[in-house]
Amino acid sequence: MSKKEQYVYIISDSVGETANKLIQAALAQFPDLEVDVSRYPFVRGEDTLISILEKAKEDNAMILHTLITNGLSSAANQFCKENNLYCFDLLNPVIEEIEKRTGAIPTKEAGALHQLNDNYFHRISAIEFAVKYDDGKDPKGFLEADIVLLGVSRTSKTPLSMFLANKNLKVANLPLVPEAHIPDQLWKVNPKKIVGLTNDPKILNSIRRERMIAYGLNPDTAYSDMKRIDDELAFAQNLYNKLDCLVINVSNRSIEETAAIILNTLQLNDMSYDN
């Protein structure tokens, strides 16, 4: 094993996504580190748990767990304590503090956040909406959407739509082309629901060239021409000014960062949860 390599075990009686997101966020601070992350979801029996922990002991692994089923979390914590393994129990300390402060009794139900409840079906409905009204396929969707995204080609409209749909938000998007007609429905939408996406010309040029190369085509076309890009961005900005909508420059921003700006600025609730 490389001296830089580290083992991490994620153990959950559900899908383990909460612990996985946490470790990935932490590992982002160590881009050169070799880390072996092993996930063990849906652990429901103590025998299974102990066998996983025995293997973790051999690897001297860090343990992150979201075990909530009665007995499993304490068994994991005790094993790690006795065997000098790092153990981070993500859920139980917070649950115990809530119980202490409020007197409410937790259900201790594994996978409670992934049940097929109303929240789940709202998310599926939002994803279907985003697919149906992607790339301006039907302008009628603008009037039903929680958010309408506008932007020239390669400003991350579609991936951002899908990301926001996973937050239970109905999103429609429209690609902006100077020669194309702006649908009448757009002018009927509350400007507070509209987000205009823009980008830096040089970055957009690079993205478009790479896209053409990926398709095996000549990268030097009108699609990647700087004058054309400047004209498209000017057209988009002029429209945003007329609409008086929120404008976000997506250059050097991740989808998550752009989504956070939208959610915070438009004061929309994030209804997405994972455990």
Give the residue numbers of the binding site.
151-158
Query: What percentage of the chain's residues is helix, strand, coil (to nearest 5)?
Result: 50, 15, 35
Phi and psi torsions of 30, nearest 5°: -130, 70
CA 12 – CA 40 distance, rounded (Å): 6
Residue 242, amino acid: K
Question: What is the length of the chain?
Answer: 275
Q: Quick one: 207 exposed, middle or buried, by C-beta within 10 A (0-12, 13-18, 19+)?
A: middle
**E strands of the chain, at which residues?**
6-12, 35-40, 62-66, 87-89, 147-151, 171-175, 194-198, 246-249
- Residues annotated as binding site for ADP? 151-158
Tell me if 202 sits within 8 A of 154, measured CB to CB: no
Handedness of CA 217, 210, 128, 187 (dihedral sign): negative
